[in-house]
A and B are shown apart, each in its own frame.
Chain A
């Protein structure tokens, strides 16, 4: 059995070691005898949307983010939307999450186009407003998610997207409405890095299970020994001051 992961802009979008998420998915497949093939999708590469089960995009610096935005606008963005429409799972973190929304509005009013996978808009309030930095805990449908956030932009969801989780500690999307991340169908966006998936094995397996759905609907992922994962999860949670449950 195998799964195929499309890793968008690995050379540009990895500012907070987001590649740890890809490593995590690969290992969790490997431990179960599933091969996870990784296709690196760089600028001007494009990819076959029928050929990916999971897409991943991390965060970048402003300049890298602009390059990615330009490339998405050319062709790759529509391929990403097509892949998700056909049942691929997508995880977008931080800057990648912002690019999957409708637009990013910089402090000076200039706009960076998103691909509209999420009904979301990110606005940067200006460098005189502090960045959102720190440990985060957020209540997701199947338990708490823990991670670290570091973003200047504030994201506001429109009616077509629901939040991924509710902030318990930290800022999340904007610090105003208590939402964290976004979800549209099988596409998930979040500000949590950390890396996110190793410390949240329940979320990692949820994504893998969803990715298996299309071609292997009867396969149920075997449980793994996640004692180290949960120890790190609890340690990160303790940092936020939120009690384990």
Chain B
């Protein structure tokens, strides 16, 4: 009864904000309903017939959740997802409320299953009140520390809530991330692991890497091989903590520049060649994560392959668009690890490119822009660069110290509209690197020019 009232009022609050154009319409219904009935999230989730999966971590949540959804659809499930920016409790409730009938019941089919991305900090509050079948942990990178706090404390808190979830929780974790293994291994139920097993150079982690010390004893980890940042095949020289052998491994990885990534998916004795559409090692990780989670849900290897190969990149993840003969490639950058992986791909392209780089410092981007000093711009081949966004000047200064302003012209234009016009005058391809709100802004401008569909889902 209380839930029905909460849902009804949540819906009313949602339509009021839309009608009155107050903005923030995605959070309001959930916020209202949670106020009136604090247990509502748990009960709405329990009503999903085939249960649900939580996907959490710093990078790759959105893409991994989308890949997993694609696999589950291929297997004949109806999949419930949450939309961008709503990966906190209120966003989840808002989303589920939209799917309720006037009597307050969830309108779903018997084969419905949920795949929800959950903010890595929010997981700590949500998990004790939810019972996912599978919890998928992607990675922990430094991301907008001004908002979240530090990697160690999140890893510790994850471990606590995962342990408290008991035996019914199946944890799927990235074996290549020491902080994730440390947390996920506290699970009391099944644990599946995934990782990249390709021939890798034994290297020392880059200085900007986030978590290259042992989560148990703080010694510097030794890496037999690194993929990027602190992800790889590690072992602690002091206490013996080491990477568990991944149950789902990517071998024979073929990922060059912005070309589609290909890899062999190995689980036990079975091998599957997977041709992804999106590029980069990051997406190999995302695909592995989705495959491991799908298997935890008893999905067949065939459906996994079909789903992964049918997947197309979402908003800003190497998505392409042609405007007036200029091809735009959208590359969303949110933190040093993600940005460095994008730049690594870009350096593999032998042709110098035109770049539009946009740095904002709003809440969703992180107000602290110091992280750009952890991005390796060195060696980037650029014909021209336009720097824009709230912190265009910081970006231009970073490019100067990376040696890019010596050879190429860096134009600073803080106004995104004229920056976009400027770069559209270049011939050939333009690569757009932008932080979250800067990307939204650029897309809005393209919608206004009538070259982009206004409706999109991340």
State whether the Cβ of A242 lies closer than 8 Å to any Cβ in chain B: no
1/0 contact trace for A65-104 toward B, CB 8 Å?
Answer: 0110000000000000000000000000000000000000
In this complex, how many residues of chain B approach chain A with their Cβ under 8 Å: the count is 36
Q: Is A198's CB under 8 angstroms from B145's CB?
A: no
Q: In residues 15-29 of chain A, which contact B (Cβ within 8 Å)?
A: 15-17, 19-20, 23-24, 27
State whether the Cβ of A170 lies closer than 8 Å to any Cβ in chain B: no
Q: Is B370's CB under 8 angstroms from A195's CB?
A: yes
State whether the Cβ of B458 lies closer than 8 Å to any Cβ in chain A: no
State whether the Cβ of A228 lies closer than 8 Å to any Cβ in chain B: yes
State whether the Cβ of A43 lies closer than 8 Å to any Cβ in chain B: yes
Q: Which of A23, A231, A236 contacts B373 (CB 8 A)?
A: A23
Q: Which of A11, A15, A43 contacts B212 (CB 8 A)?
A: A11
State whether the Cβ of A133 lies closer than 8 Å to any Cβ in chain B: yes
Chain B residue contacts of A20, Cβ below 8 A? 370, 373-374, 398, 401
1/0 contact trace for A174-215 toward B, CB 8 Å?
Answer: 000000000000000000011100110000000000000000
Q: Is B373's CB under 8 angstroms from A150's CB?
A: no
Q: Which of B208, B220, B371, B393 contacts A231 (CB 8 A)?
A: B393
Task: Give complex CA distance A239, B374 in Å.
Answer: 22
Q: Which of A15, A61, A198 contacts B397 (CB 8 A)?
A: A198
Q: Is B373's CB under 8 angstroms from A61's CB?
A: no
State whether the Cβ of B10 lies closer than 8 Å to any Cβ in chain A: no
Least Cβ–Cβ distance between B194 and chain A, in angstroms: 26
Q: Which of A10, A64, A134, A198 contacts B207 (CB 8 A)?
A: A10
Q: Is B373's CB under 8 angstroms from A232's CB?
A: no
Chain A residue contacts of B302, Cβ below 8 A? none
Q: A11-B207, A67-B218, A133-B146 are in contact. Are A231 and B370 (CB under 8 A)?
A: no
Q: A12-B213, A63-B218, A67-B218 are in contact. Are A231 and B207 (CB under 8 A)?
A: no
Task: Give complex CA distance A43, B220 in Å.
Answer: 9
Q: Is B146's CB under 8 angstroms from A232's CB?
A: no
Q: In residues 400-427 of chain B, which contact A (Cβ within 8 Å)?
A: 400-401, 405, 412
Q: Is A17's CB under 8 angstroms from B370's CB?
A: yes
Q: Is B220's CB under 8 angstroms from A42's CB?
A: yes
Q: In residues 343-390 of chain B, which contact A (Cβ within 8 Å)?
A: 361, 367-374
Q: A24-B401, A67-B218 are in contact. Are A16 and B213 (CB under 8 A)?
A: no
Which chain A residues have a beta carbon within 8 Å of chain B's beta carbons? Answer: 10-12, 14-17, 19-20, 23-24, 27, 42-43, 61-64, 66-67, 133-135, 148, 150, 193-195, 198-199, 228-229, 231-232, 234-236, 239
A-B pairs, 7 with minimum CB distance: A20-B373, A17-B373, A235-B393, A17-B374, A232-B397, A232-B393, A231-B393
Which chain B residues have a beta carbon within 8 Å of chain A's beta carbons? Answer: 142, 145-146, 150-153, 205, 207-209, 212-213, 218, 220, 336, 361, 367-374, 391-394, 396-398, 400-401, 405, 412
